Amino acid sequence: MLNSKYFLPLFLVFFFSLFSFAFITVKSETAGNVRNGTRDSTRLVYNASVVLEVNSKMGAMANICLSMALSDFYAKHPSYNTRLSLQRWDSLDGLVAASSEYLPQRSAEASFAIKLGGSSSPSQSPCIIRTAIVDFSRLAKATVAILENFEWNEVILVYEDMEYGKAIIPYLTDAIENMDIALSYKSAIPNSAEDFQILEELKVLMTMQGKVFVVHMTTNLASRLFFLANMAGMMNKGFAWLVTDGLSSFVDTMGMGAIALDSMKSVIGVRPYVPKTEALKNFKTRYKTLSLMKQNNEASELNLFGLWAYDTIWALAMTVERIGVVTSGFLKETVSKTSADARIAEIGPKGLLEEILSTSFRGISGDFDLVHGQLQPSAFEIFNLTRKGKGIIGYWTPNRGISRHLASAGNKLKKIIIPEETRRTLNERTMPTVRDKWRIGVPSKRGFTEFVNLHPGSNDNELPGFSIEVFKAVWEAALPGTEYEFKFIEGTYDELCSQVKDEKIDAAVGDISIVASRINCVDFTLPYLESGVAMLIKVSHNGPTDMWIFMKPLSWDLWLTITAICIFIGIVVRVLDRRENAEFSGSPRKQLSSILMFPCLSVATPQRDMVVTNCSRLVLVLWIFLAFILIQSYTANLSSILTVNQLQPTIPSLRELRKHYIGYQNQSFVKNFLINQLGFKESMLKPYGSVDDYQEALCNGSSNEGVAAIFDEIPYIKVFLAEYSTGYMMVGPTYRTDGLGFALPIGSPFVANFSRAILNFTQGKYMSPIEKKYFGKISIYQDETGPISSSSPSLSTKSFAGLFIIIGIIVLLALVVSESHILGRLVQRYIFHNSHDVSGPRVEPTTEMTNTSNLQENHNTNQISNRDESREEAVLEVHSS
């Protein structure tokens, strides 16, 4: 029976992702246990325990790779006398989580390995063999070689706050010990950190001197880190990011999200090199086919860890074949105890371990070589992520160091591609730094001091200008505690921006317009003030010359409609008062004259007894109301026409303006705008620098050494109009620009900081007091302007259609009510008459009824005659008197 001292727990541990973990154990136990080694009819079978999280993507991928490894190995070696059998465990039930040491996965797996082997590190336990984590010593050396190649002398380590992340620190420290490279800061970020906590840490990193970051963490945390870094503007030109294998091994697969990968443009990665062989290509094809056949949707895309799992099974199968040792159970059943004891005693635990460590072969992942219990990749590949994908820029090997090609030595890496798509080697000189005192360039100008009012020797605390006060508030929010000094720059605003590009100043502030011609030398913040280009002209006072101008307030269709309504009202009143109003009696000519004159007289000289009946009074009130509205509308429109006619621009169109001299603000971009976009000749353009210069030039006019118009941005025109409010006008279409902003070097990480601070400030409560301080009650923001029209649009029938309809309906109702007796007679004659004919004999009128009707008609006739006679007598008395 085997002695228990020969018990050897041996772990070959390989890792797959943040959520998956697998390890293999091979044990030789006492002869009384037959589970670990059995014999079929011809071969020895060795059982190996495998713990997989099969429901995870990485665990499902590993399971497929393990099965393919066994199948391929024994298909290639059918004559071997041993067989390896994998006993899979589908969970880690009952395991207590412990802090993970060197493991980029969850703590439960490390806890399990620690319980079985006493340690998860090969250096701490000879029973641990690690085949799927890169040797940190070689990884650190490759990382430092990349830093040295790009001449990056200062680096910041950003790692995950766990044992896997911390493990690289001593190796990285040792690797840079004899190099001219400083590890200036180490930033530990826990996997449980919230996004706002990561952003706070990024803000701290942004203010540091070093701008080269080495990221050593797992994919889950790294994906969030780069997404937030991109939002913070730290993925732009001026920053360098180098990621280790914990992240770089997943950039070819779906292990990294698309959003995270899109945020990682210009990142440099280092990872173990995998030769592009025919065997690898065939394996990838079979893996994809097998995954589809099994309909395993959980399996992730094949990556480096799956290849290492495949090679690990091959190594284990080779080892058990060479050993040829049977377990105690097999010895008990088929082999003599003496020979088994002798074989086990001959090999021993140390010999068994040496057999495994001595295994070396060429696998699909490259050379499989174990050194001190650790798989040692023979080479590392270095790549650069761009918008077009992943580009290999070089390799690193322990013997040759950095090389552009794997077979060559002594070559530098290929140039990397920064986000602006310009090829160059990123070096320390291009990195932005937080200086002890920033050099802020401001334009030196004498006019429009409402925006910039700084001069050499002036006190910038007393009315420095609107733009300068905005900058001060934004600076305190973006870079609190950092000092700066103003540098006064003579020349144009384009020259001011060129000073930023040439690194003579660190930033340019003031009333700098954001235009396309300047984005090649600076990056602009978000605008703090909207703007646009418009035209300023002097207006003349000319009276109207059109003899028919009195007709223009109303359109011709409205004039005809009013005429028709007058006739209609006269007819309606004639019908309503025909029996009781003598004004509408007499000859046809007289009645026609009354009908036509009544609407006009009722409006011009209204009298109380113009109408008699109640219905006619209602119609008269409605007509007077309508006439009053029409008269007021006519008066208002005519006044508008006469006013606009007196404010006609001196030059009506751009075509005519090109024949005259035109002004613009000195040092601004408007000059190039007038030449390139509006087609003005440079010889016809004159620069001016202040509000008074504008006023003098417009007063003189183009023919008297002045200008016919001035083109400038709207905020400056508003300042001019606030001082000269009469006689000048902003007209013409508005040519939009992106507004006024601050200029920083291209790729500066502080652009995002300043832009966020500008948004917070302009949308806060402190912007309005500064505006009132410098501009008073005028609005300097962009307004819509348009060409001046010489006439106001005429009112049409459609403008009063609703009123016409309402009054028309009421008038018709009054007419129906007044003449209801006619309707009653019609009803009696045509409805009741017909019903009598159908239902019974017709009732003939009696002599008494006829006489009564005649008497009533005679009475009415006598009343009318007596009324006419009395009126004629009254008229005669007036004439005689």
Instruction: Kindly state the average pLDDT of the residues 335-363.
Output: 59
What integer pLDDT is reported at residue 352 of this predicted model? Answer: 63
CA distance 356 to 340: 20
72 pLDDT tier (thresholds 50, 70, 90): very high
Highest-confidence range of 654-668, 770-784, 825-839, by mean pLDDT?
A: 654-668
Confidence of residue 19 (pLDDT cuts 50, 70, 90): very low
Residue 720 pLDDT greater than 80, yes or no: yes
pLDDT digits (tens, 9 = 90+) for 563-580: 898 888 888 888 887 777
For every residue of 477-509, which 3-state class applies, written as one string? HHCCCCEEEEEEECCCHHHHHHHHHCCCCCEEE
pLDDT at residue number 213: 92
Cα separation, 301 vs 699, in Å, equals 77
What does the pLDDT read at residue 337? 35
Residue 512 has pLDDT above 90, yes or no: yes
pLDDT reported for residue 392? 85
Report whether pLDDT(665) > 50.
yes
What does the pLDDT read at residue 711?
A: 94
C-alpha span between 868 and 707 (Å, rounded):
79
pLDDT digits (tens, 9 = 90+) for 213-264: 999 988 888 888 888 888 877 887 778 899 988 777 777 664 555 666 777 8
pLDDT computed for residue 468 by the predictor: 92
Whether the CB-CB separation of 136 and 168 falls below 8 Å is answered with yes
Query: CB neighbours (10 Å) of residue 405?
Result: 10
741-769 tens-digit pLDDT:
999 998 777 888 888 889 888 888 888 88
Between 42 and 66, name the one with better pLDDT: 66
Given a cut of 90, whether residue 172 has pLDDT beyond it is no
Containing 735, the helix (H) or strand (E) segment is: strand 728-736
When pLDDT is averaged across residues 822-827 and rounded to a whole number, the result is 67
- pLDDT at residue 528 tops 90: yes
Judge whether residue 682 has pLDDT over 60: yes
Q: Is the dihedral of CA 323, 327, 328, 334 positive or negative?
A: negative
Token look-up 């508005």 returns 734
Convert the pLDDT of each residue in 613-627 to its tens digit: 888 888 888 888 888
pLDDT tens per residue across span 458-503: 666 677 889 999 999 999 888 877 888 999 998 889 999 999 998 8
pLDDT at 212 over 80: yes
How crowded is the C-beta side of 327, counted as CA atoms within 13 Å?
25
In degrees, rounded to 5, the angle at the alpha carbon of residue 271 between the alpha carbons of residues 265 and 272 is 155
Q: What is the pLDDT of residue 762?
A: 87
Residue with more model confidence, 13 or 616? 616
Please say if the pLDDT value at position 148 is more than 90.
no
Give the per-residue pLDDT at 389. Answer: 67
Span 815-819, mean pLDDT?
79
- State residue 60's pLDDT score: 82
What is the model's pLDDT at position 6?
Answer: 27
In this structure, of 339-353, 444-458, 527-541, the range with the lowest mean pLDDT score is 339-353
Task: With cut-offs at 50, 70 and 90, classify the pLDDT of residue 400.
Answer: confident
Q: Percent of the chain beyond pLDDT 70?
A: 70
* Strand locations in 387-531 (E): 389-397, 401-403, 437-443, 483-489, 507-513, 523-524
Q: Is pLDDT larger for residue 151 or for residue 418?
A: 151
Q: Is the pLDDT of residue 26 over 80?
A: no
CB 471 within 8 A of CB 706: no
Dihedral angle over CA of 105, 111, 113, 114, nearest 10 = 130
**pTM here?**
0.47
**Of the given ranges (324-333, 407-416, 432-441, 446-455), which has the lowest mean pLDDT?**
324-333
End-to-end CA distance of the chain: 164
- Give the strand pairing for 268-272 and 523-524: unpaired
Q: Is the pLDDT of residue 191 over 50?
A: yes
Q: Please, what is the Cα angle at 518 between 517 and 521, to 5 degrees?
A: 125
% of the chain with per-residue pLDDT over 90: 13
Q: What is the pLDDT of residues 779-815, one digit of tens each?
A: 666 554 544 444 456 788 888 888 889 988 888 888 8
Q: SS3 helix, strand, coil % of the chain, rounded to 5? A: 45, 20, 35
Q: Is the pLDDT of residue 876 over 50?
A: no
Question: Quick one: which of 778, 680, 785 has its CA closest to 735?
Answer: 785
* Cβ count near 497 (within 10 Å): 24
What number is the average pLDDT over the span 589-594? 79
Evaluate whether 19 touches 58 at the Cβ level (below 8 Å).
yes
Dist CA 518 CA 494 (whole Å): 7
Contact 707, 663 (CB under 8 A): yes
pLDDT over 80 at 21, yes or no: no
- Calculate the average pLDDT of the chain: 74
